[in-house]
Structure 1
């Protein structure tokens, strides 16, 4: 651990002094190799986490695009000049923070890592990267590709489990810790880091989907299926709880159940995750929820779990209050949009939320009031490139994406340059 930090500190000065355009050129070259080896990375991802290679390949290509984005943004990440005195120059200059520790997740190991690593490297930081122990090979392969285009020790990989990560973030000499993963791990990081360390966290979510009475129930069901079952519900911004207006509840539940039964899902990342998901489902059923489809652990090898729909859910159920992170769509029927919005606003998490409505008034009210970093109207996924948000509550802190991540990876120095008063020459001519 200390050896990796020593190497990083030895490399950081030269990397910080490397012109931004040269750093950008290296990231462009790295992005090109990531694209060229997308199939290899996707196959490794599928082998380790069960994510289908075609789906994983999309994540790899998204990661390559993010590297290009930061390669382009890095050289134009400018400070400010200030209007001071006529004979002085005043500047606010961004500088690299130094050593960044990046702890990245298994559910989208290339795309997430490329974002954190790309922003850190583009702004002149050196990086110590610990990929998730559930996808160590994917992380190691990605880092190998990036290192092919970087000076020695600008990017260092530290393999290991959560204990290794906990030990790493507690070391002195770290300037930034960036973590994408569970809320429990994020809380531990916040307690462990040395004073003065910048901490960026994107942690768990319990993202609501609110369905108004004036939308087509079949379309709403298709949105719910996409949000709840994509990548087996193992997406940071998956739909985790659903509130549907009573006027369309029955046709919505019929459509949701029918579409869920048609889903053929890959396995979850491992059996430990499957046990966690199933515990949420059994808790809900024990508290009165009705199982409309799924909810049973299939026999045989692997960690498969079926697309599951629960109706009659209530606020105290774990599936409505905690992050399930699996293919479960729990539904609560509400009497009005206002009741649904109130329920959607509840809880400790604040990562993202989705609202389906034809009412501009309701859409405006929802995005204004929902305490979430990202609010999506009439689409469970999507958004313009470069979007960045700050999670709320226990879902994290700081910008994790977009141009604003460059600000997080730098520290601003104010510079005042005045004119010197020249020394008055001393006469050497003898007095008469």
Structure 2
């Protein structure tokens, strides 16, 4: 089945890549308009992820905006003219790469998919979208809405388990694999792509640190920490995963964070499923067994469902999995440090490089932090936010390549250099 889908996408590539960029953009814009009109229907399907309705609505509308963004940017994607000889023309021209496989996650299944699909389509690629097996209904509905505005086989949605994704990645007819998900899967994709020659774009796991400096209001810092750790029950790619709090504010900060955890418990959505809840709880239980102090949460609730409480830990050793790995749940492990230098050194440790946050009133500390932290995104005095169009390159175990913004158009095209020189005049022929 996968082989036939790839072949069909390859066959559709020729005509789609020759379609005028303005026409491709118009099709994507029409698809975005229908997605906006059917937002409630898509949000209903989104319930399979257990995300609350408000959050799911925001995610779908973010996907609409992203499609609209790429519909505007696609026709503006430019090459370059080079300065060659007077009688020649030299160009650098971006061209679509071919068949793009987009493997998208369950925690934000619409917004992430719309970014990868939209950028690939407006640059003239054909797309095979494989949504997470934890969000098949959402992915299938999204695909049916978007593909209705496109020629046959330009966008195909394929659902199934991990083996389907593995078969897609291994197919030699695939030119690009774009993946947002776990580091383990990203590594497997990179290995498979090395055999086929496919280009990879990987946004993988993160273990994002938050530094709480000595000169900040501990109440405000706790609000930021809670937002970063507990939003969408900690199931955000750039969630706060570990906190380094200066000793000068640690006590009031922890007290405020415990209060915040209690407030978040009242409105926090469940985790995606029980299997994921078990994995989150394993990190917490291991930490407590190793000497960490549990200040809030940390216990599986009675009853049905997959809820897990907002959890605060302190006295966490540096080698605990809850500190060194991505927990991806509503868990805030706090390490108390003696000074900013110590906090920054710990925040810079580990193999992940997705994002980091710093709360500090010191411009010197903020400057040092953004320059030294080995991550793609640094946020100072806000755990979320930023201007539209920002595109970062994750590092280390967190992947590589631009996954957003205008730069994604560059990732999904290959640059060709063209030299146009006039032919010499034909020699005259004597009778």
Q: Distance in 2 between matches of 1:388 and 1:239?
A: 19
1:335 maps to 338
Conserved 8 A contact 2:180-2:202? yes
Q: Deviation per CA, 1:134-192, whole angstroms, max 9, x where unpaired?
A: 00000011111101111110001111111111111001111100000000000001111
Runs of 5+ consecutive residues of structure 2 not aligned to the other structure: none
Q: Within the alignment, does 1:50 sit opposite 2:26 as a pair?
A: no
Q: Deviation per CA, 1:217-251, whole angstroms, max 9, x where unpaired?
A: 00000000100000000000000000000000000
Conserved 8 A contact 1:244-1:333? yes
Q: Distance in 1 between matches of 2:312 and 2:430?
A: 95
How many residue pairs align between the two structures?
427
Q: Within the alignment, does 1:139 sit opposite 2:142 as a pair?
A: no
1:190 maps to 190
1:160 maps to 160
2:379 maps to 376
Query: Within 5 A, what are the aligned runs for 1:22-421?
Result: 22-46=23-47, 48-193=48-193, 194-263=195-264, 264=266, 265-421=268-424
* TM-score under structure 2 length normalisation: 0.98
Query: Could you say what secondary structure the match of 2:210 adopts?
Result: strand
Q: Distance in 2 between matches of 1:231 and 1:30?
A: 27
Conserved 8 A contact 1:42-1:54? no
- When the two chains are superposed, the root-mean-square deviation of aligned CA atoms in Å is 0.7
Query: Could you say what secondary structure the match of 2:313 adopts?
Result: strand
Query: Could you say what secondary structure the match of 1:187 adopts?
Result: helix
Runs of 5+ consecutive residues of structure 1 not aligned to the other structure: none
Q: Distance in 1 between matches of 2:157 and 2:260?
A: 42
Conserved 8 A contact 1:103-1:178? yes
Bigger shift: residues 307-316 or 177-186: 307-316
Segments of 4+ in structure 1 off by > 4 A? Answer: none
Conserved 8 A contact 1:24-1:71? yes
Q: Distance in 2 between matches of 1:373 and 1:320?
A: 19
Query: Could you say what secondary structure the match of 1:400 adopts?
Result: coil
Q: Distance in 1 between matches of 2:243 and 2:41?
A: 37
Query: Could you say what secondary structure the match of 1:108 adopts?
Result: coil
Conserved 8 A contact 1:71-1:122? yes
Deviation at 1:196, TM superposition (A): 2.3
Q: Within the alignment, does 1:9 sit opposite 2:10 as a pair?
A: yes
Deviation at 1:120, TM superposition (A): 0.3
Q: Deviation per CA, 1:82-127, whole angstroms, max 9, x where unpaired?
A: 0000000000000000000000000000000000000000100000
